[in-house]
Structure 1
């Protein structure tokens, strides 16, 4: 992705990496695993991947490390993902435009419509974490091919 980036865009690429899990990530993932609102797929993801940072794919895509997810949960609480406040999710990342990605009950992934996590309106973007990761991959593939990311 970064080979032709500067020539295409006129400035050097930022951080674009998938960081493997380290000891601290695994400890935080084990803590997440004990919480009822955390889907098993997310814990499995954090067993291998500690963080995803793609600053230059569109506005950017970010999946936060499990320690940051825990800290946000502690500081802000779970995120409501329905208008009746019956279902809550966990903010796991964001795009460079200020919108957050929230994994909800059963692993469904939502994107907030605004930057606030206080009673946000959300749109469903993926049926589960695997589907969400496939959409991220498609966006990266499209960006490499033509410099324009898919919309996620």
Structure 2
């Protein structure tokens, strides 16, 4: 995608990367696991990867680092997802248009309908973190093959 991006779209690509976890990320991953019950899949992810930034896929897809997720919780508190089994969650990612991805304490991933969490409405997008990652993978593949936005 990056190799032919400028030729296809007429401008250079952004910083598309999947950053590997460093020592600070590993510490934050352990703290994340303490804060978020039932987050085994996300913990495994955060032990391997620091963050994902794909600004050129559709509007963009971003999976925030465990440090960023925890910082947001300390600054703003937990997200409230009214229809979830346990309505507490953490913002774990976003798209380039301001839509937020929130993991509830049961591991389900939800997408906000607006760019704000104040009285936000959510749609369930994945039953667990591996399914969420698969949706991102499929979105990238679809974008590369067709130039159309993905599945999230």
Q: Any conservation in 2 of the 1:79–1:119 contact (CA below 8 Å)?
A: no
Task: State the partner residue of 2:47.
Answer: 47
Q: Any conservation in 2 of the 1:80–1:86 contact (CA below 8 Å)?
A: no
TM-score, normalised to structure 1's length? 0.94
Q: Any conservation in 1 of the 2:15–2:55 contact (CA below 8 Å)?
A: yes
CA apart distance, 1:26: 0.5
CA apart distance, 1:53: 0.2
Aligned CA-pair RMSD:
1.6
Write the mapping of 1:93-132 to structure 2, written as runs, cut at 5 A.
93-132=93-132
Task: State the partner residue of 1:3.
Answer: 3
Task: State the partner residue of 1:26.
Answer: 26
CA apart distance, 1:84: 8.7
CA apart distance, 1:119: 3.2
Distance in 1, Cα, partners of 2:136 & 2:6: 22
Task: State the partner residue of 2:88.
Answer: 88
Unmatched 5+ stretches in structure 1: none
CA apart distance, 1:128: 0.6
Q: Structure 1 76/6 Cα, relative in aligned 2: closer, same or farther at 3 Å?
A: same
CA apart distance, 1:149: 2.5
TM-score, normalised to structure 2's length? 0.94
Q: Structure 1 112/69 Cα, relative in aligned 2: closer, same or farther at 3 Å?
A: same
Distance in 1, Cα, partners of 2:84 & 2:105: 14
User: Where has structure 1 moved over 2 Å in runs of 4 or more?
Assistant: 83-86
Per mean C-alpha deviation after superposition, the further-off stretch among 53-62 and 80-89 is 80-89
